[in-house]
């Protein structure tokens, strides 16, 4: 029998299919949404980045300025004290003009050694930071793919979907964000059963690995690359040796000052003290920059600010999906009702998509003869159905 206008082939009104009856929403235990993250400050990204820049600048400049001022104040009395200990005119004559060039050769050797070691250390740590950036871009991309596949695999299975989203949230917060400040080897040494990705694999697999196995494996490989890049390759004693070498280089200048004070007196020591303070400032500044690169997180030289921007979309998507599966709207209130279509409940995202499609204009009425109903009203509806 040919269906009448406004009906589909099973006798159901087309309008009733598009607008199904509203039934009470089934109560479930709500998901506890954890809104905490690595940064508890709710400041805008630009203000937060400026704050990190200022904190890094203070950690580098304040010790450098303090060391420079201390070197300026200590240089004249230290040089005079050494001159009292030497108290030999012949020695003063050699030191004042450096006729043997012994001090000059000493400065050349120590300065060259210091510059080579510091330069190579800086280059090595900069390459390590570059590897961290590359690995994080790949890991965040794989995490987004896993979230999309979890949503597809768990379609219609609310309890499993809820647990997978919880595991995904734990991975993002505890591993991806806070993992920058943890020991990489310690993070990897955990039991497989404690891994949130293993929980997702277990929930979505029955007998054999599910279709998201390849994505989980790629995400684990990206995480391993990130942990390997974060692992410190240089021991802390390496930085201690650099500071020791800098101290050896600076120690030669008060000895030269003890010889030059016989020519220019205390005034020449004041001028040399200014130059000695400037040189101390540069050396301490350089070593502090190397120290910031060595830390790995928490500063302007690290990946924290970039990671905060990269995971912003992933965080928002997780929050929306967890609120949707928990039946919580944007204001934090439980939705009292939801739509039921085909025996399956529709969440907020599906409802909004359904409303959007209802408002869409179909390509051609000849392929959708029942698109236009009398609710459109008037002559337009009649004319449209007579096409």
- The mean pLDDT value for 207-229 works out to 84
The residues, ordered by sequence, that sit 6+ positions from 379 with a Cβ below 8 Å of its Cβ are none
Sequence-separated (6 or more) residues with CB below 8 Å from residue 241 = 117
- Check: CB of residue 308 under 8 Å from CB of residue 79: no
Q: Which residue has the higher pLDDT, 81 or 262?
A: 81
Dist. CA 309–CA 377, nearest whole Å: 49
Pick the range with the lowest mean pLDDT from 190-204, 222-236, 273-287, 335-349: 335-349
pTM: 0.65
Q: Which residues pair with 206 in a beta bridge?
A: 208
C-alpha torsion sign, points 56, 61, 64, 67: negative
Q: Could you tell me whether strands 344-346 and 22-24 are parallel, antiparallel, or unpaired per DSSP bridges?
A: unpaired
Three-state secondary structure call for residue 271: helix
Tell which wins on pLDDT, 272 or 359: 272
Can you tell me the distance from the alpha carbon of 322 to that of 22, in angstroms, rounded to the nearest whole number?
22
Is pLDDT of 138 > 80? yes
pLDDT at 69 over 90: yes
Task: Report the C-alpha gap between 105 and 81 in whole angstroms.
Answer: 24
Spatial neighbors of 239 by CB under 8 A, at least 6 apart, are 287, 290, 291, 294
pLDDT band at residue 379 using 50, 70 and 90 as cut-offs: low
- Identify the pLDDT of residue 359: 54
Q: Which residues, including other chains, have CB under 8 Å from residue 259's CB and lie 6 or more apart?
A: 83, 91, 92, 94, 95, 96, 98
Given a cut of 90, whether residue 13 has pLDDT beyond it is no
The pair of structure tokens assigned to 260 is 């030059």
pLDDT recorded at residue 47: 79
Please tell me the least confidently modeled range out of 186-200, 263-277, 321-335, 354-368: 354-368
Which SS3 state, helix, strand or coil, does residue 328 take?
Answer: strand
| pLDDT tens digits along 320-332 | 888 887 765 555 5
Cα 273 from Cα 34, distance rounded (Å): 56
Mean pLDDT of 56-71: 93
List helix spans (H) across the chain: 14-18, 45-86, 89-97, 102-153, 158-170, 184-188, 196-204, 213-230, 236-250, 252-295, 304-310, 312-326, 348-359, 378-385
Q: State how far the Cα of 328 lies from the Cα of 318, in Å rounded to an integer.
A: 13
Q: In the prediction, which pLDDT does 237 show?
A: 92
Please identify which residue in the block is written with the tokens 């120690």. Answer: 251
**If pLDDT is split at 50, 70 and 90, which confidence band does 211 have?**
confident
pLDDT at residue 72, as a whole number: 93
Q: How distant, in Å, are the alpha carbons of 72, 80, 206, 281 from that of 275?
A: 8, 17, 73, 10
Confidence band, pLDDT 50/70/90 cuts, at residue 196: confident
Statement: residue 365 has pLDDT above 60: no
Residue 209 confidence class, pLDDT cut points 50, 70, 90? low
Which is nearest to 283 in space by CA: 70, 127, 128?
Answer: 70
Q: Residues 139-188: pLDDT tens digits? A: 999 999 898 888 888 877 888 888 888 889 989 988 888 878 788 888 88
pLDDT tens, 270-305? 888 999 999 999 999 999 999 988 887 778 888 888
Distance CA 162, CA 321 (A): 9
Q: Chain-wide mean pLDDT for the chain? A: 75
Q: Which of 84-93, 101-110, 371-380 has the lowest mean pLDDT?
A: 371-380
If one compares 102 and 285, the residue with the highest pLDDT of the two is 285
The span from the CA of 204 to the CA of 193, in Å, is 15
Q: Mean per-residue pLDDT for 9-33?
A: 40
């Amino acid at each position: 029998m040919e269906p009448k206008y406004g009906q589909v082939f099973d006798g159901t009104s087309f309008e009733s299919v598009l607008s199904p009856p509203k039934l009470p929403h089934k109560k479930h235990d709500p998901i506890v949404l954890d809104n905490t993250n690595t940064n508890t400050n709710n400041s805008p990204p630009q203000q937060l980045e400026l704050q990190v820049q200022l904190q890094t600048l203070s950690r580098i400049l304040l010790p450098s300025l303090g060391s420079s001022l201390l070197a300026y104040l200590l240089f004249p009395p230290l040089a005079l004290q050494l001159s009292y200990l030497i108290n030999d005119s012949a020695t003063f004559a050699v030191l004042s003009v450096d006729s043997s060039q012994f001090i000059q050769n000493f400065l050349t050797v120590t300065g060259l050694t210091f510059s080579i070691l510091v330069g190579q250390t800086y280059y090595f740590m900069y390459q390590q930071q570059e590897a961290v950036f590359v690995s994080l871009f790949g890991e965040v991309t794989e995490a987004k793919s896993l979230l999309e596949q979890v949503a597809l695999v768990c379609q219609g299975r609310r309890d499993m979907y809820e647990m997978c989203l919880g595991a995904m949230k734990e991975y993002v917060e505890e591993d991806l964000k806070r993992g920058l400040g943890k020991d990489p080897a310690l993070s990897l040494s955990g039991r497989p059963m404690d891994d949130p990705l293993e929980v997702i694999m277990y929930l979505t697999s029955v007998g054999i690995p599910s279709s998201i196995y390849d994505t989980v494996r790629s995400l684990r490989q990206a995480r391993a690359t990130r942990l390997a890049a974060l692992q410190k390759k240089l021991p802390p004693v390496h930085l201690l040796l650099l500071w020791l070498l800098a101290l050896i280089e600076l120690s030669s200048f008060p000895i030269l000052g003890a010889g030059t004070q016989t020519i220019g007196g205390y005034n020449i020591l004041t001028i040399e003290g200014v130059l000695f303070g400037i040189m101390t400032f540069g050396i301490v500044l350089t070593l502090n920059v190397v120290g910031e690169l060595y830390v790995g997180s928490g500063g302007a030289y690290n990946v924290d600010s970039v990671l905060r921007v990269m995971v912003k979309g992933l965080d928002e998507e997780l929050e929306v999906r967890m609120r949707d599966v928990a039946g919580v709207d944007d204001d934090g209130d439980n939705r009292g009702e939801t739509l039921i279509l085909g025996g399956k409940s529709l969440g907020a995202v599906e409802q909004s998509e359904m409303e959007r499609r209802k408002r869409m204009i179909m390509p051609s009425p000849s392929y959708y003869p029942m698109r236009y109903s009398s609710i459109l009203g008037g002559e337009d509806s009649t004319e449209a159905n007579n096409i």
